[in-house]
Structure 1
Amino acid sequence: MVLISTDNLPDFFKDEKRRNVLYAPLRSKTANPNDWNFKITSWKQLINLYCSSNKTYYFSLESLKVAFHDNGRTPSCLEEVLQNMSLNKEIEPLAVFMEKKPKTWAAWATKSLISTPLTWSLNKMKNIILSPELSKLEYAALNIIHQEADLLLNELSSNHKNEILTLEEIMKEKNLEINKQKDVEILILSLYNRNKVDILETQTGSLRPENLLIKVCDPNHFEPISEVDLGIRTLKANEKALEKNIEFLTDSANKCREEAKSHLVRGQKQLAKASLKKKHEIEKRIDKKTETLCNINILWNKLHDATLGEEVLDSYKNAVKAFEGTLKKGMNTDAIDDTMVKVAEMLEIQSDMENALGRPVIDVDEDLEKELEDLLAEDKFNDENKGSPGQDSDESLIKAMEKMELNLPSVPSSPISIGDLSQNMSSQVN
């Protein structure tokens, strides 16, 4: 049964035909490059998936065969896959990975030019003579280790940035059992080799929880362990020890007080006095240790303020450098004034261009003015002649008739007889 949950398995592995192809021996790359690439890529993905889902940071050829055992068969091409991963720096022997990287040039030269070649030569000869089982050689899964190590660093940085912790303290904070110590060491070494934490062994020897100090650095800035860091850690350790001692002495003083009460109840006055004297001596010790604890707290606060002040000063220096860099690029009052004058000129030019674009192509203002006057005159005339058939119409009719000129005969000055009137009318008719 494959040691990966069904939900996490890729689709190509769930297909029976394609899985049979994966478990078959690997053909030559020149004979069938597509088949070779498919198998190598697919098995790399499956191995990384197995490591990430099971929190496994190292494996061997033998353990992979157990992990991918399926229906009585094991993959036939895992050895070639591991060789390819090793060539591409995706894995490396765990023993090589567990060696700490020297940080000085002399140490690097000694290790790279003398120790490593000599060790490699001796091991090569030993391999030829003894022929060990390569299937049990353990490899470190570098990609998975680096990913998990970065997650661990982010968790520790949230509460312990630029602080020193022991391996034991880290394991307690992560609620890990002692059998997980090797896994934590692998993650810490991954961070160390990538300059994300610093390591200091208080005693030369193997990596042990009680003698390995680890500084949790800022993820964006590496700082090695300094004397100030060690001093702060010493103060913290003394502070914890004093707090425990004061707590113990306080309990002892309370116990002496209760003993004095008990002696008084039984009438043992001298024993009661002795218990009280012992209580007073303990209280004096408590007072002295309390003063010492206060001094440690003062020193701790001073160191913290000094560190904070140094960070503030560094930020000021960076800001000054940024300003200086800006000024070196030509930013000054004269350059700003010249730029503002140019901006004003460009705005004026743009305004002139907009006015030019807004002028009409043909000047028809005079014709429009004349037409508007005609419309106004017509509206005025309509307003004057507008009205209902009642009184308004009569008044307007009277006004119109007054303006009319009639050619009527003048009124006669002497009386006219009927005969003269008839004669006059007949003459007009003729």
Structure 2
Amino acid sequence: MTSLTPKPSQVESWERLPSDWHNDERMDALFAFFKDRDLNPVHYDAKMKFWSETINAFCEDHGLLQIDMPTIVSRFRRKGKTPKCLDKVFDELVKQNRLVSTNDYTNSQQSSWVSWSFNKLASPITSWMSPKTPVDQEVFIIKELVDKKALQVVEALQSQVYVPTFDCVVSFTSFINTCRRCALIDENSINLVISALTRDKKILIDYIGDAKDVKVVKFVAPGASVVRPLTEIENSVLLLRHSKERLEEQLKKSDEQIEGLLADIRRHLKNSNRTAAMKLLRKKKLLEREHEKKEGTIEHLNCVLTQIEQTDCSSLVINAYSSGVQAHKELLRKNGLTPDAVDDMIDEVQEMLENQKELDEALSRPVGNETTDMTELEGELEELLKQPVLPTPVPAAPIPAQKETVNEEYIKPPEQDPFADLELRLQKLGVQESTPNKVPEIASSSQ
């Protein structure tokens, strides 16, 4: 079978080449036929996982969204040997619905709302196989890679959006260039991505111009879920841009023509053919005049496009202001905030502060009939300060306890001491005791 996919780079130069690729013993086991899973399920599952992940990563890095077994077998040739187990790998991927036959994928696309687009854009896909194609020579679609690449293309397009009003439409050529930057190297893979994006309503292919001869692609705007139909504003802006691009192409051609005329004029002058040089010089002047006119037209178109962009930005700013005002009004309404309500609240606060001030003054007034004159109290305090300060009395030594004579037969009651409180009275009178031994002597004489 002749391979239907383009020949990618050799697997040895692949950046994500498996680390076991240079291990001869390991790769011989991986290249061999699958044995019955019941004999060694661990080895069987590890081998299946290795080939599934390796084939998927290889196709992703090389932009291959459709594969066939002969192509993959030839791409993973190693030291003259090819893997003998890929038929089992393909069968398992088909069971997991990770590989979809071209016929099934085509039918699923045609049953959607974009059958017209798929029939037109993916016609090469439908011709890849016939109903009698053997299974081992079937062409399969890697569905998960198609969806992944489609998402990458949309994200790449959205990253270039500056003004969402009309920047979500690009020429079909620009769209194809974006696909190629996402590693989609062949037309069939690009058609698959176009088909998937159209099916999911992420892009819309249309034609603009009076003759509907300009093919454009509108993609879903950032933040939106599906693409919207082409608007009149987008149609007008696209026509302006298309006219500008055509004028720029004409300018390039006129520059080349003017350079060629200059070379011919110099050649005729060198050959002393002034008549031919004069004719070419007139033609050169006409081209230069047309060149200036086109340059002025391009400058005018640039100004118009700039004004449109500024108007759109101004519209976005006005809409943002409007949304902010509405949100502010709703917040004021929800919280009951009005100028009258705020004035009433300020009055209530002022009244509350005045009431509190009156309460503080009332609480600071003296309680009861406090009629004592402060002047009288000050005078009495001055009199007390003028009086002499008496020395602090020194406490007298304690009187030793008197021993009592204890008689076994008779105990004499103690007699009352007439001088017991003498010392206390002397202390109150402020007279210091001169002879500390006087009290004991009197006590002894009384006995």
Task: Normalising by structure 2, report the TM-score.
Answer: 0.49
Indicate the residue corresponding to 1:141 in structure 2: 142
The reply on whether 1:60 has 2:64 as its aligned counterpart is no
Distance 1:190 1:323, change over 3 A: farther
CA contact (8 A) 1:257 1:279 kept: no
* Rounded Cα–Cα distance in structure 2 between residues aligned with 1:39 and 1:276: 76
Distance 1:95 1:297, change over 3 A: farther
* Rounded Cα–Cα distance in structure 2 between residues aligned with 1:103 and 1:327: 53
Distance 1:8 1:286, change over 3 A: closer
Query: In the TM superposition, what is the alpha-carbon distance from 1:134 to its structure 2 partner?
Result: 1.8
The reply on whether 1:218 has 2:231 as its aligned counterpart is no
Structure 2 residue identity aligned to 1:200 = D
* Rounded Cα–Cα distance in structure 2 between residues aligned with 1:249 and 1:291: 15
Indicate the residue corresponding to 1:228 in structure 2: 233
Query: In the TM superposition, what is the alpha-carbon distance from 1:7 to its structure 2 partner?
Result: 6.4
How many pairs align? 313
What is the aligned counterpart of 2:196 among 184, 190, 196?
A: 190
The reply on whether 1:48 has 2:56 as its aligned counterpart is yes
Indicate the residue corresponding to 1:74 in structure 2: 84
The reply on whether 1:153 has 2:151 as its aligned counterpart is no
CA contact (8 A) 1:199 1:212 kept: yes
**SS of corresponding position for 2:204:** strand
Task: Normalising by structure 1, report the TM-score.
Answer: 0.51
CA contact (8 A) 1:256 1:278 kept: no
- The root-mean-square deviation of aligned C-alpha atoms, in Å, is 5.8
Query: 5+ residue gaps in structure 2?
Result: 1-9, 119-125, 162-166, 346-391, 393-430, 437-447
* Rounded Cα–Cα distance in structure 2 between residues aligned with 1:72 and 1:286: 62
Query: 5+ residue gaps in structure 1?
Result: 112-119, 203-209, 341-380, 382-402, 409-430
Indicate the residue corresponding to 2:18 in structure 1: 9
Structure 1 residue identity aligned to 2:101 = P
Indicate the residue corresponding to 1:84 in structure 2: 95
Distance 1:265 1:138, change over 3 A: closer
User: In the TM superposition, what whole-angstrom CA distance separates every residue of 1:109-160 from its partner, at most 9, and x where no partner exists?
Assistant: 9x9xxxxxxxx9xxx9x84xxx321222211212223333333433343335
Mapping of 1:102-117 within 5 angstroms?
Answer: none
* Rounded Cα–Cα distance in structure 2 between residues aligned with 1:95 and 1:214: 27
Structure 2 residue identity aligned to 1:146 = D
Distance 1:18 1:243, change over 3 A: closer
* Rounded Cα–Cα distance in structure 2 between residues aligned with 1:236 and 1:193: 28
Distance 1:236 1:96, change over 3 A: farther
* Rounded Cα–Cα distance in structure 2 between residues aligned with 1:6 and 1:250: 44
**SS of corresponding position for 1:199:** strand
Structure 2 residue identity aligned to 1:59 = I
What is the aligned counterpart of 1:181 among 182, 187, 204?
A: 187
Indicate the residue corresponding to 2:205 in structure 1: 199
Query: In the TM superposition, what is the alpha-carbon distance from 1:315 to its structure 2 partner?
Result: 4.7
**SS of corresponding position for 2:133:** coil
Distance 1:261 1:68, change over 3 A: closer
What is the aligned counterpart of 1:285 among 268, 287, 290?
A: 290
CA contact (8 A) 2:60 2:145 kept: yes
Query: In the TM superposition, what is the alpha-carbon distance from 1:81 to its structure 2 partner?
Result: 0.6
Indicate the residue corresponding to 1:166 in structure 2: 172
* Rounded Cα–Cα distance in structure 2 between residues aligned with 1:68 and 1:280: 63
Distance 1:64 1:149, change over 3 A: same
* Rounded Cα–Cα distance in structure 1 between residues aligned with 2:62 and 2:69: 17
* Rounded Cα–Cα distance in structure 2 between residues aligned with 1:73 and 1:9: 15
Distance 1:230 1:21, change over 3 A: same
CA contact (8 A) 2:101 2:140 kept: yes
Mapping of 1:248-287 within 5 angstroms?
Answer: 248-249=253-254, 255=261, 259=265, 278=283, 281-287=286-292
Query: In the TM superposition, what is the alpha-carbon distance from 1:55 to its structure 2 partner?
Result: 3.7
**SS of corresponding position for 2:53:** helix
**SS of corresponding position for 1:132:** coil
**SS of corresponding position for 1:195:** coil
